[in-house]
Structure 1
Amino acid sequence: MSEIKISITSVEDSLSSLSNRASQLEKRAEEAEERISATEDHSSRLAAMEKAVERLLLKVDDLENRSRRKNLKIINLPEGTEATTPLVDFLQSTLPALVGLPSDFPSLEIERAHRALSPVPPGQTPRSVLVRFLRFSQREFVLRAALKKRDIRHDGSQLRFYPDLSSEVLRKRRGRAQARLNKYRGFAYPARLRCLHEGQIHLFDTPESAALFLDSINLFMYQYYFTL
């Protein structure tokens, strides 16, 4: 009988030990579930914060580009071509003839103009010129006239005219393929691919969507980068 009692006691001790271990495992499982739940909540909050930051960055970039709407960037204007004349006065008198504005076009109202704030590059491409107009309508008219005329030269240099865009918009434009349909190509603000086919303008948010459209009409797509 004593041996049976000893065996029963041993079994009871083993069961008690197993019960304690099971309780510990249950407690650890509950703690793990709590940590997982907390991690999931943290991940959800982090994802929401990332979306909020992305929206704010888009708004900031939009505000920056709106503040640049009156600006025009001129590339390759020779250094010192204005001589002793203030740059604003030089541009007001020279731009109309350069871009081919109508003779009855009102005098250009330019708030300020300056070269890029960098050292003069000896023997290299001249610094770009940033021009801020008083009115957006005048800047737009000058830019459209320049794009229409295309071949604009001054002192033997071919000039290029661009809107003044934020670095983020320029980054998007540089990184996207440009569709070419019927010899027409371009960007819709801020960086949507734009093309003309059979008299209709098509807009694409991604190069992939443009490629699908091109494939559907058996045309090709080539890489084109927006350069300053």
Structure 2
Amino acid sequence: MPTHQDSSAVRLNYPTAQFMTSAPTLALCPDDTGAEVAFAGRSNAGKSSAINALTQQKALARTSRTPGRTQLINFFSVMNDEARRLVDLPGYGYAKVPEAVKLEWQQHLSDYLKGRFSLRGLVLLMDVRHPLTEFDQMMLGFADERNMPVHILLTKADKLKKGPASAALQQVRSRLKEWEDLVSVQLFSSLKRDGVDTLAKRLDEWLKTPPQ
């Protein structure tokens, strides 16, 4: 495993990812040390499928036939190192739940994104056919408040032909031009594993083990 001295060239083995714990609130999350990257997206954006594609595991992140059912913050260690973590945030905006529950989810997301010191970056997943929803804008706003980098996955790219997919990518980049110093965007398909390597390289940058 790389040492701190060569961490600039670190390449992490994401298939080693293992479930650590789940937490309903920021207060019950693991110790706020090391480095972690959070995955966020509407409940039908393919977030669990993307995590499973990255880790080459079929059910590390649970996929549900009822989008939005998971209301917990789920933590996964990488390379048997709990100082490097992937975090699966609750899906938002699709589940048929009471408005009060949705508002509670939103508050937990806000608390986590604004108050988690070890959070190094946010992977924001959007269906390539329906990008930049109200939820997506809200998440970008949270990240902007912290000056935190965001890597956007335009998921389900296999649903579009190459031309329309490329056009959608350019449209999102254009609309986010004011945030180009913090935000990067790519096409992604969990089904075909397109874009997994690009995602892994970005995570490698964010999950360098920080000085302790």
User: What TM bracket, shorter-length normalisation?
Assistant: under 0.3
Please, what TM-score do these two structures have when normalized by structure 2? Answer: 0.26
The structure whose residues are more often strand, as a share, is 2
